[in-house]
Structure 1
């Protein structure tokens, strides 16, 4: 939309998407925040058809929303997100997985509470695909405990920072940092740790701004890796985060660094 000020760039990486993606895109087309302030960047990675045509047909039927469809032959969620980050024009960035969706006021509420030093966090609700019931979700408990409309040190919500979704991040916080494409697991945590030198506060939305996280039995996030692979990945993650921390230890939180290291070690035993 030429000449319009984009407030939020929504980034959605997708690989051989199921029909879940249209639930995600429908939720974005219903946002209470003006569509003139939003761009929705969908990056189809890997296999092109018939997925590109299906998504493009959806976009053609929803011309009031600012959907942008990109394609890369290179598969991988990190590469797809990096492509979108380079393309993004918004003052703020939010990431959404293609099988998740958001409530109608999600973007508007997060925009109202976020700034260049504060990351806005929503209320997450997790559910198993095909089951009409909410799962017990540890970060939902964090929201329910601290959502009081006030700014907090981000340390109280460390569990929210294992990944980039469920939040609104100022582009000035991200700067030119990107996801590490050499990792197959743990790149989300590494990215969030890397950008943690540029923010200190979080603020929770009202309970109405919801990120619905869908769990599927055969999804990549629910498949366990071998013990050997878990050790290898955790070792690389610890090395990468340690390099960041000790290169600029005055700008990174020591407490947050050690919780990241403990989290990587814990992942070895829990899968």
Structure 2
């Protein structure tokens, strides 16, 4: 199987018109289209979404966009399918309601070639008004920009999500997202591969991951208190399991920060403030 530079993995469930904005932003990348591929995984649904996506592909015959379909729902399963089918030297994840700036792939790849894990600027906006909104990744990026070498602890906000960066296929290896978790799976996956990530670097401000804030998205969904607490405890158990498997290479401070984050979340749950 021929290797290419980057595999773009997009999980999608019952996508709306925002998907076309996402795909269009990838089609106009400054990186030549033959140097990257796009894998769109339609999960837990079929029509009319499948036909609409096939129609888009037929109108953009670059040959680098592939759709996979599975009746199994869940973003973790979809992302894992994308990883399993990827041919890229590097992988990047994009949510189907987000989009990227034209130089996104090329700028990140230029940095990653030096053995550094690059992260992008992040701009969040309201789905209804289009207005920019405060985002923790945006604030983190402001502190990281212009630093030569960024540690995992300095970039721990970026290490809680798989988006806004490209990741080496070698760093991912056989590790995958855990479908057992509906919330917190992103942070757990990033922690798993963190033992192979030592240095990060911020790309220029023009390299942007645009993050759409939607009230109905999974990240904003409320869940029962008991379910939230159970999820927090299971995440803490898994963080500890992975850490103990490779104590020498995992960052102990990053591990502790993950546990503390779950404990804080549990405190909110106990108080009845169910938050992300």
**Same fold, judged at TM 0.5 (above):** yes
Is 1:63 the equivalent of 2:61?
Answer: yes
Measured in 2, the distance between the counterparts of 1:101 and 1:149 equals: 25
Partner of 2:189, secondary structure, is: helix
Partner of residue 85, structure 2: 87
The match for 1:54 among 25, 28, 52 is: 52
1:215-234 deviation per Cα after TM superposition (whole angstroms, max 9, x unaligned): 11122111222221111000
Measured in 1, the distance between the counterparts of 2:257 and 2:114 equals: 24
Preserved CA contact (<8 Å) 1:120 1:168: yes
The match for 2:101 among 95, 98, 103 is: 103
The match for 1:136 among 130, 134, 139 is: 134
Partner of 2:4, secondary structure, is: coil
Partner of residue 176, structure 1: 174
Q: Which region of structure 1 is more displaced relative to structure 2, 6-15 or 223-232? A: 223-232
**Structure 1 residue 118 displacement after superposition:** 2.1
The match for 1:240 among 238, 241, 247 is: 238
Q: Which region of structure 1 is more displaced relative to structure 2, 258-267 or 36-45? A: 258-267
Please list, as runs of the form range in 1=range in 2, the aligned pairs for 1:187-198 lying within 5 A after superposition.
187-198=185-196
1:221-265 deviation per Cα after TM superposition (whole angstroms, max 9, x unaligned): 112222211110000000001011112111100000000111112
Preserved CA contact (<8 Å) 1:116 1:199: no
Measured in 1, the distance between the counterparts of 2:130 and 2:15 equals: 22
Residues 89 and 166 (structure 1 numbering): CA distance in 2 closer, same or farther, change over 3 Å? same
**Unpaired runs of 5+ in structure 1?**
none
Preserved CA contact (<8 Å) 1:119 1:169: yes
Partner of residue 34, structure 1: 32
Residues 116 and 234 (structure 1 numbering): CA distance in 2 closer, same or farther, change over 3 Å? farther
Q: Which region of structure 1 is more displaced relative to structure 2, 117-126 or 22-31? A: 117-126
Measured in 2, the distance between the counterparts of 1:22 and 1:201 equals: 34
Partner of 1:78, secondary structure, is: helix
Partner of residue 271, structure 2: none
The match for 2:229 among 231, 234, 242 is: 231
TM-score (norm 2): 0.94
**Structure 1 residue 131 displacement after superposition:** 1.4
TM-score (norm 1): 0.96
Structure 1 stretches (4+) deviating beyond 6 angstroms?
none
- Root-mean-square deviation (CA, aligned residues, Å) is 1.4
Measured in 1, the distance between the counterparts of 2:93 and 2:36 equals: 13
Residues 154 and 116 (structure 1 numbering): CA distance in 2 closer, same or farther, change over 3 Å? farther
Residues 68 and 41 (structure 1 numbering): CA distance in 2 closer, same or farther, change over 3 Å? same
Preserved CA contact (<8 Å) 2:126 2:133: yes
Residues 121 and 150 (structure 1 numbering): CA distance in 2 closer, same or farther, change over 3 Å? same
Residues 66 and 149 (structure 1 numbering): CA distance in 2 closer, same or farther, change over 3 Å? farther
The match for 2:208 among 201, 210, 218 is: 210
Aligned pair count reads 269
Q: Which region of structure 1 is more displaced relative to structure 2, 25-34 or 113-122? A: 113-122
